[in-house]
Structure 1
Amino acid sequence: MNTPHINTDGNKIAESILLPGDPLRAKFIAENFLTDVVQFNSVRNMFGFTGKYNEKEVSVMGTGMGMPSIGIYSYELITKFGVKNLIRIGSCGALQENLKVYDVIIAQGASTNSNYASQYGLPGTFAPIASYELLSKAVKVANDLNIDVHVGNILSSDTFYDDNAEAHLLWKKMGILGIEMEAAALYMNAARLGAKALSILTVSDNIITKEETTASERQSAFVNMMKISLEMI
C-alpha cells in the first residue's frame, strides 16, 4: 500500500508512531534510540523509519510544519497503514513566564485559530483534546523518569508571523502554555478516524521572556520528550 506522500516499498509501519515535525529529528531518533531500523519512507525527504525500542516495534516519521501537512500524513497513516497511536513530538514557544527552554509540555488540549474543523460541518465548536489513555501514560512515565512536565492547553496556530503582534498575549490570558502549529489537526483526525493521539512538546523559546534555543538544538537535543514517548510505547 502506497499513497502520494508515503511509499513504503513493502516495509512495515508500526501501530504506534512518533511524529516530529522535522524529518531530521525522525532520523536522529531512529539512529540513536531504535534497533533493527528499516526506512519506510523518503518521499519529499519526509523520512520514516520502523525499528524496535526495548523489543517493542515502533515507527517514527517527520510530518513537516503546519496543520495541513500533519493532517495529510496522520490521515494516511491511520486510514491506509493501520496506525493506532500517534504521538507528536515537537517544539513550541512558551507563553507563560514560569516555562523555561527545554521544559516539556504535554498537550491535554489544543486550541486553534485554524478553520480545520469546518470540514466536519459541526453545529458548534469542537474542542480538540488528547487521548486520555496516552496522556495518563505519558505523565506516569515522566514521573517514573523524574522528568518534570507541564500538562495543559496549547495553541495550534496557522500563523507563525502573525500580523497582530499582540495576539499571543490574548492567548496567554487564557492560560495557554505554548504555541505550535500541528496538534489540533492531529487531535481532530484521530477523533474522527477512531485513533489515539497525543502531543509532547519541548519549549524551544519563551515568547514572553525571549529565552531561546538554536536550530541545531531543536533538531537533536530535545531528548526528554523522546524518552517519554518511547517509554510509553
Structure 2
Amino acid sequence: MATPHISAEKGDFAKTVLMPGDPLRAKFIAETFLENPVLVNNVRGVQGYTGTYKGVKVSVMASGMGCPSIGIYSYELFSFYDVENIIRVGSAGALTEKLKVRDVVAGIGSNHATGYADHFNMPGTLAPTADYTLLSTAVEAAKEKGIEMHVGNLLCHDAFYNEGGMQESLEWAKMGTLAVEMESTALYLNAARTGKRALVICTISDHLVTGEKTTSEERQSTFTQMMEIALETAVLMEGK
C-alpha cells in the first residue's frame, strides 16, 4: 500500500489527521494527547502516528514546510488512505495589531503568493477556502473549551525570505488578512480537488508589526490550545 512518501498500510490512518509542519510537533501531539499512539510512517523522518483521543481514532503526521511538501502529503492521504479531514496545526506570523503572539487563528480563506494554484489549469482565479463544516465545528470546539479563536483570511507565501521583505507581506493587512504562513493554499486546493475537507488552525509564533517572537522550542511544544481545538474537532467530526 505504500506510496512514494508514506510507508503506512491501508487503514493505518484515521478519518481525521492533524498535520503540523514539524515532525517533532507531530511526536509531541501523539505522546501528549493520544492514547496508545503507534508510529505508522517515518519515511524521510516525517513522523505519522495513529492513536485514540476520547475513544475516537485520530492520526497526526507532519507536512514539512511549504506548499510543495504539504501538497504531496495531503494528496496521498486524501487519495490513497481514505482520510476525510486534514486539520493543519501550524505557526503563523501576525500581520495586524488585532492579534498578539500565541493567539489562535483559523483560516477561512487563503490569499496566496504561490504558484501552486496554477497546476490545476483552471480558466480563472482559484479561491482556496476552508471546508465550512470543519471550520464551524472547530469554532464550536473552541467555544466549548473557552478558547478565543480568530477567524479570517490567511496569506500563503512561497518565500520565507523574499526580496520585498516584511513590508510586502504587511500590505495584505489592508485587505483584512490576519496572518501569513506557507501551506494553506495547497491544502485547501487539494481538499477541493479530491472532494475532502481541510482546515488550517495556526498559533501566532511571531508578529510582523511588533517584532515579538517565540523560540523554536516553544513552537514545538507549547502551542497546545490549537492542538486541543483540533482534537476536539476530530471527535465532533466523527459523526458528520
> What is the TM-score of this pair, normalised by structure 2?
0.95
| 2:172 alignment partner in structure 1 | 171
**Structure 1 residues 151-193: Cα deviation after superposition (integer angstroms, max 9, x where no partner):** 0000010010110122112111111100000011000000001
Aligned-residue RMSD, C-alpha: 0.9
Alignment of 1:51-200 (within 5 A): 51-165=51-165, 166-200=167-201
Partners in 2 of 1:37 and 1:203 — Cα distance? 27
Shift of 1:123: 1.1
CA contact (8 A) 1:11 1:40 kept: no
Partners in 1 of 2:82 and 2:63 — Cα distance? 17
SS state at 1:140 partner: helix
Q: Which runs of 5+ in 1 are unaligned?
A: none
CA contact (8 A) 1:74 1:186 kept: yes
| 1:228 alignment partner in structure 2 | 229
| 1:39 alignment partner in structure 2 | 39
CA contact (8 A) 1:11 1:38 kept: no
CA contact (8 A) 2:38 2:51 kept: yes
The one-letter code of the counterpart of 2:209 is I
Partners in 2 of 1:123 and 1:9 — Cα distance? 37
> What is the TM-score of this pair, normalised by structure 1?
0.98
After TM superposition, where is structure 1 displaced by more than 3 Å over at least 4 residues in a row?
none
Shift of 1:8: 1.4
Change (3 A) 1:134 1:173: same
**Structure 1 residues 113-145: Cα deviation after superposition (integer angstroms, max 9, x where no partner):** 111111121111110000000000011111111
The one-letter code of the counterpart of 1:96 is T
Shift of 1:9: 5.3
CA contact (8 A) 1:93 1:205 kept: yes
Partners in 2 of 1:9 and 1:24 — Cα distance? 22
SS state at 2:127 partner: coil
Partners in 1 of 2:121 and 2:171 — Cα distance? 27
Residue identity over aligned pairs, in percent, reads 53
